[in-house]
């Protein structure tokens, strides 16, 4: 079954000086739908996001993709980006969907997916399922801060940001003090993580950014919901090889089974 092309539109999130236009692409189809949450500095045209859009076309599913502010086709400054802002945008995009959603989050998007699921559970309308790819839960404090040098810690405090080289881009990744400080408000480890739905985790064994121990740590915090962890021994952080994309599609399809 093949559905029509995705609809492209913008929503405005925030008000006054905090208002920013968020670019969305939404494929209409049956429920449960798929909501894609990308990673830090990624956009909705990446290979995993497009693989899910392709899956939606094949299966006649609703698929919603978007870019966080400061990313891709969305407005707003990347330097003003925080977990609070990007979570607010994810909530606003979710409100544009109808019916239950399978929330698929990659890297930082995995953390935001868990935060969004917790909000939905608190409202009595839990997500249909979560599929998390190398979820970077609590990344600001567990994955970023420990790797900073003493000079970088000083620069972060005095200058307000540091620029770090990235193997994924010719442009250094800017990490701001506001991102680190805001992340403190959303830390999940140390308490039971409630999602109210099944959770599937896909984790690369050769991931240099989110170690497999981090995924295992997440599993130990999800005590009341069914969790499946698939470790891909030769997988990297992106998990964007053809075989990885097939695993992702299969993980989503398994959540559609009655």
pLDDT score for 2:
46
pLDDT score for 254:
96
- Gap between the Cα atoms of 64 and 97, Å rounded: 8
DSSP code for 227: E
Q: How confident is the model at residue 258 (pLDDT cuts 50, 70, 90)?
A: low
List all residues 6 or more positions away from 95 whose beta carbon is below 8 Å from its beta carbon. Answer: none
CATH topology of domain 7-138+192-254: Rossmann fold (3.40.50)
Return phi, psi of residue 28, to 5°. -80, 145
| Reported pTM | 0.96
The ranges assigned to domains in the chain are 7-138+192-254
- The pLDDT tens digits for 36-75 are 999 999 999 999 999 999 999 999 999 999 999 999 999 9
CB-count exposure of residue 149 (10 Å: 0-12, 13-18, 19+): exposed
Whether residue 183 contacts residue 105, with contact meaning beta carbons closer than 8 Å, is answered with no
- The pLDDT tens digits for 156-185 are 999 999 998 877 777 888 999 999 999 999
């Amino acid at each position: 079954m093949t559905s029509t092309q995705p609809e492209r539109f913008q929503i405005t999130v925030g008000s006054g000086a905090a208002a920013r236009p968020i670019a969305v692409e939404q494929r209409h189809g049956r429920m449960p739908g798929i909501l894609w949450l990308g990673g830090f500095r990624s956009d909705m045209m990446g290979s995993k996001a497009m693989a899910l859009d392709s899956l939606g076309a094949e299966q006649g599913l609703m698929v919603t993709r978007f870019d966080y502010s400061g990313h891709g086709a969305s407005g707003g400054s990347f330097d003003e980006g925080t977990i609070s802002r990007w979570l607010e945008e994810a909530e606003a995009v979710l409100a544009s969907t109808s019916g239950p959603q399978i929330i698929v989050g990659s890297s930082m998007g995995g953390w935001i997916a868990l935060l969004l699921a917790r909000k939905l559970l608190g409202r009595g309308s839990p997500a249909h399922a979560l599929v998390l790819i190398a979820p970077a839960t609590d990344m600001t404090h567990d994955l970023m801060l420990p790797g900073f040098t003493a000079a970088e810690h000083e620069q972060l405090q005095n200058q307000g940001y540091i620029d770090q080289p990235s193997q994924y881009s010719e442009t250094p990744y800017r990490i701001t003090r506001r991102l680190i400080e805001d992340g403190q408000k959303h830390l999940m480890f140390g308490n039971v993580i409630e999602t109210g739905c099944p959770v599937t985790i896909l984790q690369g064994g050769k991931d240099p950014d989110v170690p497999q121990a981090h995924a295992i740590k997440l599993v130990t915090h999800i005590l009341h919901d069914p969790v499946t962890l698939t470790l891909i021994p030769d997988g990297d952080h992106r998990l964007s090889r053809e075989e990885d994309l097939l695993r992702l599609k299969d993980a989503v399809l398994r959540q559609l089974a009655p």
